[in-house]
Amino acid sequence: MLFNSIDFAIFLPIVFFLYWFVINKNLKAQNILLIVASYIFYGWWDWRFLSLLICSSFVDYIVGIGLSKTDKKQTRKLLLLTSIFVNLGLLGFFKYYNFFLETFVEAFSFFGHSINPHGLNIVLPIGISFYTFQTLSYSIDVYKRKFEPTKDIFAFFAFVSFFPQLVAGPIERAKNLLPQFYKKRVFEYDKAIDGMRQILWGLFKKIVIADNCAIYVNDIFENYFSCSGSTLLLGAILFSFQIYGDFSGYSDIAIGASRLFGFRLKRNFAYPFFSRDMSEFWRKWHISLFSWFRDFIFVPLGGRFSKPWIRVRNIFIVFILSGLWHGAAWTFIIWGILNAICIVPDILRNKRRQGTKIVAEGRLLPKPKELFQMLTTFLIFSFTLVIFRSESIYDSIQYIRRIFSISLFSLPEVFPKNVIVLIALFILAEWLQRDKQHALQFDDVALPIIVRWGLYYGIIWTVFYFGGHQQKFIYFQF
Amino acid sequence: MKKFLINTFLFSLIFLILNQLPAPFLGPYYGNPYYCEKYKYFTNNHDKFNTVIFGTSRLYREMVPKIFDSLLKEYQTSTFNLAAPAVSHPEAYYLYERLLETVETNSLKYSFIELAAPHNSRFENLNTTENHYWHNLKYLNFLIKYTFDSDLSSRRKIRLIHSYIVGYVNKAINLFGYKKLFNSKFYKMDFCLGENKDGFYSLEEQMRDFGVGSNAGRRFTSFLKDTTVLDEKISIANKAFSLKTNKQFINEAHLIKLIELIEKSKQKGIHLIFVMPPGMYDYHEVLAIKERLPSNHIIEIANPKIYPELYQVNFQFDIDHLNKKGAVIFTEYLANEFKKYF
């Protein structure tokens, strides 16, 4: 089920009503309802793949119980390996089987050997990269004794399948989300209203910004060989807004919907386009994935306090894996490597901005230097995305080569005025609210109801005015 | 919680009320700008015409009134083509029924409606304004009955019914009302009436007027790149026409609807004829229905064995439509078939 569909607009109030009015007294019943609702939400796309979700949940539940009952190092290791094998096995088979097969065939043919293996027509189950990482993190945390395993099977299954974040994150960690399933949830007006606002902002990002950019981006990337340099540059920039609007929009809707049920999910985006360098950018973009890689790959390999060359190697490992996580194609791997290259200078200079500190804090406008840094970071990211979006490495090289031609100084063949105005308004709203969790958070501003409601109606009509061509979320394919 | 519910209710109520504001300004056919324009012209000139054509882009691009009337001089037909792109099949019935109910139709003698199965519409199109602006309870009821009576898989039936209900809710809430209201101001659609102002406008003319980069141009170049898809079209049609089971399966809801339309037309003194042009879809349901309709109310011009020219590359504009030459041939066939009954 898509968040931007009428189906979800009907589904959400029904689940909300049952959750708060029919079974609000019974925590277990609420968790069971969330499991059933989540399975309906997931099965709406293809019910057959529910078996994978159930399998992944069941294995990690059993592994957790097993780990709690034994102190034998060997047995514990075996249990952890079972979880890793099952989760990465599912991911490997459904996502990477054909990719590795093709790579082997190409490698063999390079050395003069020809093999003709059987490729499989595999459909990638939606959200598999997200929920397998989530369950895997649970088993690893339990193995490392960082988290007490649960015996409550309903809480655990609800944690794995929780519908707002099931198919495109944020990838939750057990220590944050699972305990919320043990406690009685209390409805809080302010949080629920804020959740609704965040859903609205997410829909705006997805339907108004991302889907409108998609129309031009698809056209430009499909016909890049006949476009001028300026058009191609515009295409790359629009794709940055498309992917940001699409993915952060999904996260906003997920976080907002969770709040309606009394849950608090991790923040997944912290205004990454206002970053002053690439290392800051990657701490603000898809936070839940990169914190996963940090905790389970980067830190075990040595972390921040290792020798510089070890840190550089680890950065490359993390970004290559991140590229591979996004998709089974060489374009994603190269994209990961490029991002690692962009971050290495900061690592070597040991230059690291503190946390996700807000740019130009306390000021309305950034300093010229900050503005320059933000623009540069954005452009670097946009260029790396050309590889991410292209069908092949060859296409991406041709695309970038064509940008740097004399036609870069001509007027673009397409100039989507409406979309550019909308993007400008969008950036303005995010800039003004950059110290908040999302752009429609008005906790500390006492706006009259007529202004607030007028603003909400305006956004809703903008969504319907510019919407209508429903597009799937990009991150569903990952 | 109480405060939350009251505020949500009030917010939604105001939203629903505000959404209804554009409705009176939209007109009944706001989802199909082509039909809007044609309908406007027809109602202003209805005395001039005694024959009308309803259907999808197939009949719009393939039925040439000027040729048709010249071949039927003895019948004194004066034809206006009201078929339009993106019209689905029950929509064509709806448009025809509304015409009978709202327009002075004394001058009308003959009506032609394209016949195909309603479920041939693409899923992704079912939730668009174009596909639900005409929804009302009567037609929702028909679509649900039709879907239940069809021989589709249960999964497909559920998906279709779900899409129809969602479309109806969409229409009732008028979610895209403001969008349609503002956008309608920017369209100038009189080109769609064609050079003779008889509602026929070929795809070649559209490509000529709007360029090869237009939708028509893209369809044309895409077809030229791979004309082998025509073989698939022929194969689908041959398979349907050779099936013996055609006569066994009947979609009763569809048949009842067609007979109801014939009766309604009779009451107005109009002879209604259903037309089956060549199309890239599964014919088997409508072929069975054809056998049950009175023979002077159905003309089938789709069998590749009888009408092979209509499947030849040189008479095609794209996979779904004939070009102007093909349209002339199709119209001649239609006129000849018409003559057999009268």
Which residue type sits at A235? G
CB-based contact A461 B129, cutoff 8 Å: no
CB-based contact B4 A193, cutoff 8 Å: yes
Query: Nearest residue of B to residue A466 by CA position?
Result: B179
Supply the pLDDT for residue A205: 94
Secondary structure, 3-state, chain B: CHHHHHHHHHHHHHHHHHHHCCHHHHCCCCCCHHHHHHHHHHHHCHHHCCEEEECCHHHHHHCCHHHHHHHCHHHCCCEEECCCCCCCHHHHHHHHHHHHHHCCCCCCCEEEEECCCHHHCCHHHHCCHHHHCCCCHHHHHHHHHHHHHCCCCHHHHHHHHHHHHHHHHHHHHCCCHHHHHHHHCCCCCHHHHCCCCCCCCCHHHHHHHHCCCCHHHHHHHHHHHCCCHHHHHHHHHHHHHHCHHHHCCCCHHHHHHHHHHHHHHHHCCCEEEEEECCCCCCCHHHHHHHHHCCHHHEEECCCCCCCHHHHCHHHECCCCCECHHHHHHHHHHHHHHHHHHC
Supply the pLDDT for residue A93: 83
Interface test with B, best of A8, A24, A218, A464 (most B CBs within 10 A): A464
User: Catalytic site residue A326?
Assistant: yes
Residues of A in contact with B18 (CB under 8 A): 457
- Residue A302 backbone zone (phi > 0: left; psi -120 to 50: alpha; other: beta): left
Distance from the Cα of B16 to chain A's closest Cα (Å) equals: 11
Comparing CA positions, the residue from B333, B313, B332 lying closest to residue B323 is B313
In 10 A of CB A122, how many CB atoms?
12
Cα gap A3→A1, rounded to integer Å: 7
At B186, is the pLDDT very low, low, confident or very high (cuts 50, 70, 90)?
low
Tokens of A255: 């976080």
Report the mean per-residue pLDDT for chain B. 87
Comparing CA positions, the residue from B131, B127, B108, B123 lying closest to residue B56 is B131
Most trustworthy range by pLDDT among A74-88, B102-116, B117-131:
A74-88
Tokens of A226: 């006949």
Residues of B in contact with A460 (CB under 8 A): 15
CB-based contact A464 B179, cutoff 8 Å: yes
CB-based contact A6 B14, cutoff 8 Å: no
Query: Nearest residue of B to residue A453 by CA position?
Result: B11
Cα gap B184→A97, rounded to integer Å: 50
> Looking at the partner chain, which of A6, A187, A470 has a beta carbon nearest the beta carbon of B169?
A6
Distance from the Cα of B304 to chain A's closest Cα (Å) equals: 35
DSSP element (H, E) containing A110? helix A97-110
CB-based contact B166 A460, cutoff 8 Å: no
CB-based contact B128 A468, cutoff 8 Å: yes
Give the side-chain half-sphere CA count within 13 A for B104: 8
Supply the pLDDT for residue B205: 92
Question: Could you state, in order of their start, the residue ranges of all structural domains in chain B?
Answer: 2-339
CB-based contact B179 A465, cutoff 8 Å: yes
Beta strands across the sheet bearing B110-114: B79-81, B51-54, B110-114, B271-276, B298-300
Comparing CA positions, the residue from A194, A359, A164, A198 lying closest to residue A275 is A359
Residue B32: pLDDT over 80: yes
Tokens of A185: 């949830």
Residues of A in contact with B178 (CB under 8 A): 461, 464-465
CB-based contact A465 B182, cutoff 8 Å: yes
> Looking at the partner chain, which of A196, A457, A470 has a beta carbon nearest the beta carbon of B18?
A457
Q: Where are the alpha helices (DSSP H) in A204-277?
A: 211-222, 229-260
Give the side-chain half-sphere CA count within 13 A for A441: 17
Distance from the Cα of B156 to chain A's closest Cα (Å) equals: 13
User: Tokens 């093999």 — which residue?
Assistant: A115
Residues of A in contact with B11 (CB under 8 A): 453, 456
In 10 A of CB B20, how many CB atoms?
12
Query: B127-164 b/e with 16+ CB inside 10 Å = b?
Result: bbbbbbbbbeeebbebbbbbbebbebeeeebeebbebb
Secondary structure, 3-state, A8-77: HHHHHHHHHHHHHHHCCCCHHHHHHHHHHHHHHHHHHHHHHHHHHHHHHHHHHHHHHHHHHHCCCHHHHH
A6: Cα separation from own chain's centroid: 23
Comparing CA positions, the residue from A133, A166, A172 lying closest to residue A8 is A166
> Looking at the partner chain, which of A196, A457, A464 has a beta carbon nearest the beta carbon of B176?
A464
Paired residues of B54 in beta bridges? B113
At B8, is the pLDDT very low, low, confident or very high (cuts 50, 70, 90)?
very high
List of chain A residues with pLDDT < 50: none
First to last CA, chain A: 16
Give the side-chain half-sphere CA count within 13 A for B284: 14
DSSP element (H, E) containing A87? helix A73-91
> Looking at the partner chain, which of B1, B169, B179 has a beta carbon nearest the beta carbon of A187?
B1
Contact, A132 vs A90, CB < 8 A?
yes
A303 phi and psi angles, rounded to 5 deg: 65, -155
User: Model confidence over B197-229: pLDDT tens digits?
Assistant: 999 999 999 999 888 778 888 888 888 888 888
Rg (CA), chain A: 23
Residue B63: pLDDT over 70: yes
Q: CA dihedral defined by B95, B98, B103, B104, rounded to 10 degrees?
A: 110
A148: Cα separation from own chain's centroid: 27
**Residue A447 exposed, middle or buried by CB count within 10 Å (0-12, 13-18, 19+):** exposed
Cα gap A116→A93, rounded to integer Å: 19
In 10 A of CB B274, how many CB atoms?
23
Q: Which residues of A touch B (CB under 8 A)?
A: 6-7, 20, 187, 189, 192-193, 196, 453, 456-457, 460-461, 464-465, 468, 470
In 10 A of CB A230, how many CB atoms?
19
User: Tokens 């969330």 — which residue?
Assistant: A34
Residues in contact with B240: Cβ distance below 8 Å, sequence separation at least 6, in sequence order: B246, B282, B283, B284, B287
Supply the pLDDT for residue A455: 92
Residue B247: pLDDT over 70: no
User: Model confidence over B257-286: pLDDT tens digits?
Assistant: 999 999 999 999 999 999 999 987 777 788
CA angle at residue A50 from A44 to A56, to 5 degrees?
Answer: 145
Query: Would you call the peptide bond into A170 cis, given omega within 30 degrees of 0 as the criterion?
Result: yes
Give the side-chain half-sphere CA count within 13 A for A57: 23
Residues in contact with A48: Cβ distance below 8 Å, sequence separation at least 6, in sequence order: none
Query: Nearest residue of A to residue B8 by CA position?
Result: A193
Tokens of B96: 């025809």
Q: Which of A113, A286, A326, A469 is catalytic?
A: A326
Query: Nearest residue of B to residue A457 by CA position?
Result: B15
First to last CA, chain B: 71
Q: CA dihedral defined by B35, B40, B41, B47, rounded to 10 degrees?
A: 120
Q: Which residues of B touch A (CB under 8 A)?
A: 1, 3-4, 7-8, 11, 14-15, 18, 127-129, 162, 166, 169-170, 175-176, 178-179, 182
- In sequence order, what DSSP letters do the residues of A385-427 get, joined into one string? HHHHHSSSHHHHHHHHHHHTSGGGGSPPS---HHHHHHHHHHH
